[in-house]
Amino acid sequence: MQTIGRLEVIVGSMFSGKSEELLRRLRRAVIARQHVQVFKPAIDNRYSETKVASHARNFFDAQVINCADDILRLLRDDTTVIGIDEVQFLDETIIGIVESLADRGIRVIMAGLDTDFRGEPFGVVPALMARAEQVDKLSAICTVCGEPATRTQRIVNGKPAHYNEPIVVVGASECYEARCRKHHEVPRD
């Protein structure tokens, strides 16, 4: 039986539960006896080298990839569901790869940051969102006021990171906070 493939994108700020939602969907696919493969970029080694991990310390075995093409190289013939965490760290070839996988009948579930610490679109995520059948944007809780947070605040030496700081700095609560629009700061001077 041919299944209809699809792209699902889970986005939001850090600490919004993106990886947790990805893991929930993957666990449900396993319960449904679907053949699942999970991938994560090598750069994300915060909680585990070989597992997708949420901040809540839930885990799922994953294959570590250095570039998007590694997914095709590692793909098993019987795979029906693919999970990709931290998709914002992958190169632009991921767009064509996931499109072709969905065209082949594979459900591809991706999680990643939609914006960087500056509040600007992050890498390939906007293009993936535009192509997806389903997009879920999650929010966290602002560490300043407790309102819904949709932004990721990078902190350097106790202060908001300057606009010109590097875009990619892998970390967790030691250098990032969830913030609402009002309390998200990106100094430019």
Catalytic (active-site) positions = 86
Distance separating alpha carbons of residues 49 and 66, to the nearest angstrom: 12
Question: What are phi and psi for residue 99, nearest 5 degrees?
Answer: -60, -45
**Which DSSP string corresponds to 37-87?**
EEEEETT--SS-SSEEE-TT--EEE-EEESSTHHHHHH--TT--EEEESSG
Tokens standing for residue 88: 């914002």
